[in-house]
Amino acid sequence: MCDHFPMKESAPANDVNLDALRAEVLQWITDDPDKSSRDELYRLLDALPDSAEELGERFAGRLKFGTAGLRGPLRAGPNGMNLAVVRAAAAGLANWLDAKGAEGPVVIGYDARHGSRDFAAETARVVTGSGRRALVMPGPLPTPVTAYAVTKLDGAAAVQVTASHNPPQDNGYKVYLGRELGGDLGAGAQIVPPADTEIEAAIEALGPLSEIPLGDEGETLDESVLEEYLTAVASVVDPDDPKRLASVATPMHGVGGRTLVKAMERAGFPAPILVPEQADPDADFPTVAFPNPEEPGAIDLLKALAAEEGADVALALDPDADRCSVAVPVGDGTWRQLTGNEVGVLLADHWMRKGRKGTYATTIVSTTQLKAMCAKRGFKYDETLTGFKWLARAGADLAFAFEEALGYCVAPEFLRDKDGVSASLVVAEIAAGQAARMATLQDRLDELAEEFGVYETGQLSIRVDDLSEIDACMKRLRAHRPTSLLDEPVSDYLDRLPDADVVTITTANARVVCRPSGTEPKLKAYLEVREDVGGDLQGARERARASIEALRAEVAALLGVPH
């Protein structure tokens, strides 16, 4: 996961003052507009003291509005996603738009998760109550459709109710800016500082929720907004390129299936065969332990279907369809899931060969192969901090952007955000071109390795119970700077403090980037090694994999954690 959401630390149950907690809960209940939430809290009050730990967690603080909006578990109380928290967020956003003098409507989209439609309707009531038009999507649709619509409809801002690839018990609230406030670089992109802190301040300044004026549920858009999006994404594919392709796909119980099928057909490809168990939206995500294509086992049904159908390529969208994963056949009926870096390199290579001019951008934790490709082929290169909110703003001439966490922007001319649907179309275009010459996407990756070397990437992820452990690891890394990695001298040690809590260590053929996760109680180290092929591609890959394992152990020792 790549978006940044604030984490909360809850107080231990034995530290909770039960009388104070009870008073705080009752005060919240008096202002909570949702009867089901009030009843939920009353049941927990009745269960005291046994429920003290859970109530303490729910009232440890309010979900903070960050650069990616809100995300949290569906539950009553200030530290959860519920109608009260959504009403406050919508009112804060509306007041902030008023303070900025933005005049356009607010576009409101939502996915098929538990509560999403109700949260979208509540947002619309707050927006219309503030005297502003609310334009509501015609049904549960992918996040990229909302990001596209905010500029297409001249919106001041857009809200997408979604928890993306989080577990079923979560929901969230993403905010995008239109051109008026976002400018050319931020139109259709998620907010960046200081907008997040300003909206958070507007939320904190609110009085009782009962005093927030409410209007109607806004104007429901017709299907034309989806049709215009489909026309736009289909236009990224060259009509003269090969279109014969056998593909399978999964929306992973999310909202992208119908949109992906329509987009593929509109671009001239045969419709992909969808994994039947995962084709329709299902808020419980019954066939996956965690609805994230990056998770082990998440695309097992997709790979099985691909082998059964003899497909050329397999595509997996995450539940809100702003990210995609790709799997390829590797012989004997087996399939391999490509990394986000590999897909990003394939897409960049495709656009370069097509002659698309402009800046090619990625993040500081993604592969450095893109930088090497740009240098050799004469394309502009840029890298940003993690998060598509930064990649979207990498330059007015942005040609393509990607992050290793399965996010790709293939058409910044109409959508400056990651989009799994349009990325899937370009992957299909590359795969069809390879199939026409009796080759695969893996074959193209092999050709790129012959040209640029093998770039092997990996991660060391350290989950902690106490967030101070992450600080201790980062302090240890800063206090004891390594002079070598994998027996190569360190050529660059970059500490991005105070702008970002990130340390990058580089040698001639290796790189390590260490940073705390913005979404989970984890410390992440992103690892990369490069090996020259020297006429032996398989040998180079084996050496690279061995080097990654050695680097993982070395970095674990530097951080003072078990390997």
CA nearest to 505, candidates 517, 495, 516: 495
Q: What's the rounded Cα separation, in Å, for the pair 370 and 383?
A: 10
User: Could you report the per-residue pLDDT of 318-330, keeping only the tens digit for each?
Assistant: 999 999 999 999 9
Residue 372: is its pLDDT beyond 60?
Answer: yes
- Pairing outcome for strands 522-531 and 510-516: antiparallel
Q: Say yes or no to pLDDT of 348 above 60.
A: yes
Give every CB contact of residue 255 below 8 A, 6+ residues apart in sequence.
111, 112, 140, 141, 142, 281, 319, 320, 321
Number of Cβ within 10 Å of residue 327's Cβ equals 22
Q: What is the dihedral of CA 261, 262, 264, 267, to 10 degrees?
A: 170
List Cβ neighbours of 470 (8 Å cut-off, separation of 6 or more): 462, 464, 516, 521, 522, 523
CA–CA dist 557, 554 (Å, integer): 5
Q: CB of 358 within 8 A of CB of 380?
A: yes
Domain 64-222 shares a fold with domain 228-449: yes
CATH code of the domain occupying 228-449? 3.40.120.10
User: What does DSSP say about strands 454-463 and 324-329: parallel, antiparallel, or unpaired?
Assistant: unpaired
Give the pLDDT score at 15: 57
For residue 68, name the pLDDT band (cuts at 50, 70, 90): confident
Average confidence (pLDDT) over 463-482: 93
Q: Is the pLDDT at 181 greater than 70, yes or no?
A: yes
Angstrom distance (rounded) from CA 342 to CA 455: 9
What would the pLDDT profile of 185-215 be if each residue is shown by its tens digit?
A: 999 999 999 999 999 999 999 999 999 999 9
pLDDT at position 16 is 65
Give the mean pLDDT of the chain.
Answer: 95
C-beta neighbour count of 513 within 10 angstroms: 22
Cross-strand pairs, 530: 455
Structural Rg of the chain based on CA atoms: 24
562: pLDDT confidence band, cut at 50, 70 and 90? confident
Quick one: pLDDT at residue 6?
38
- Provide the 10 A C-beta neighbour count for residue 554: 20
User: What is the reported pLDDT for 66?
Assistant: 86
Please, what's the largest Cα pairwise distance for the chain? 73
Answer whether residue 8 shows pLDDT above 70: no
From the list 51, 116, 130, 164, the catalytic residue is: 164
Whether residue 85 is predicted with pLDDT greater than 50 in this model: the reply is yes
Residue ranges of E strands in 233-300: 247-250, 273-274
- 468 given a catalytic annotation: no
Residue with tokens 């050329």, as numbered in its chain = 312
Q: Which residue from 312, 294, 295, 165 is spatially nearest to 249, judged by alpha carbons?
A: 312
Q: Does domain 454-559 have CATH number 3.30.310?
A: yes
Domain residue limits, the chain: 64-222, 228-449, 454-559
Angle between helices 224-234 and 143-152 (to 10 degrees): 100
Q: How confident is the model at residue 5 (pLDDT cuts 50, 70, 90)?
A: very low
pLDDT in tens, 118-134: 999 999 999 999 999 99
Specify the pTM. Answer: 0.94
Cα separations in angstroms, 265 against 231, 235, 244, 279: 11, 12, 12, 17
Rounded CA-CA distance 318/325 in Å is: 8
Neighbours of 171 (CB within 10 A): 28
Closest CA to 235 of 392, 415, 97, 74: 415
Quick one: tokens of 367?
A: 């592969």
Given a cut of 80, whether residue 12 has pLDDT beyond it is no
Assigned token pair, 488: 């190569």
Q: Are strands 170-177 and 157-161 parallel, antiparallel or unpaired?
A: antiparallel
Q: Over range 249-256, report the average pLDDT.
A: 98
Give 431-454 pLDDT, tens digit per residue.
Answer: 999 999 999 999 999 999 999 999
Tell me which CATH homologous superfamily contains domain 64-222: Alpha-D-Glucose-1,6-Bisphosphate, subunit A, domain 3 (3.40.120.10)
Percentage of the chain exceeding pLDDT 90: 93
Closest CA to 328 of 449, 410, 431: 431
Q: To which residue do tokens 């058409």 refer?
A: 411
Q: Which percentage of the chain shows pLDDT scores above 70?
A: 97
